[in-house]
Amino acid sequence: MGSGFNGKAIGVESVVAARELPIVGAAGAVGAVGVGGDAGAEVAADVAAVVSVPDAERLVHLQFRRFAGCPVCNLHLRSIVRRHDEITAAGVKEVVVFHSPADELREHVADLPFAVVADPDKRLYREFGVESARRSLLSPRAWLPILRSLARSLPRIVIGKDRAPAATPHGGRLGLPADFLIAPDGRVVAAMHGTHVYDQWSVDRILELARGHAHGHRNSRSQAPSAS
């Protein structure tokens, strides 16, 4: 399917073209955004599970992370896991993108209850204008979350509960996070590009945005002229 990418990064009020992305993790299937295709991705014949973006029934929270095993990413995603039932009840489907290959990513995300997409060629990152920069790690606002994430991950790696990330991660270590909330009609209703590695929407912010969209949708329906 087409990506809808015309050289300008997707932002608020952009319309995301429908696509199905192969997923890693929750459904046990492994795939990646297709090489030689566009950001919409041709789904490989041997990939059993895909996620639709946009979703016909729910909002999609599309979030961009860094590499497989990224400690800061894991710290944030655990907050999503803890409140995933609340997010789902609010009518939001989580879709998380990493710039690692599917085979490398699989072992790190197998227990996550939402769709994870491997985008090693960063096709989706380019389409949505998600960047890498040194400020991702150099911003003083990133230092405390980095320390917290290392304090959590290192003991788990030592005792074998978690796998260490690659010494030289695919796609580098300087990725910035980004969040997009996509309505069923493909319209981006909210977006955020992080300024450092831990600058992203909290669960409370996701729920607030979902409630705001639901309220606005109800109002627009109530104000629509009735059929004669």
pLDDT at 218: 62
pLDDT number for residue 216:
74
pTM (2 d.p.): 0.82
Per domain, the residue ranges of the chain are 19-211
Render 164-191 in DSSP notation, one character per residue. Answer: PPPSS-TT-S-BPPEEEEE-TTSBEEEE
pLDDT for 215 equals 77
Instruction: Report yes or no: 105 and 163 within 8 Å, Cβ to Cβ.
Output: no
Token readout for 208 is: 């607030």
* pLDDT score of 226 more than 70: no
Residue type, 3: S
pLDDT score of 124: 96
Render pLDDT for 25-76 as a digit per residue (tens, 0 to 9).
654 444 445 433 333 333 333 344 899 999 999 999 999 999 999 999 999 9
Residue 98 forms beta bridges with which residues? 118
The percent of residues in the chain predicted with pLDDT above 90, rounded, is: 61
pLDDT of residue 27: 45
Q: What is the pLDDT of residue 79?
A: 96
CATH assignment, 19-211:
3.40.30.10
Of 22, 221, 226, 206, which Cα lies nearest the Cα of 124? 22
pLDDT in tens, 149-191: 898 888 888 887 777 888 888 889 999 999 999 999 999 999 9
With residue 123 as reference, give the H or E element that holds it: helix 123-127
Query: Strand pairing partners for 167?
Result: none
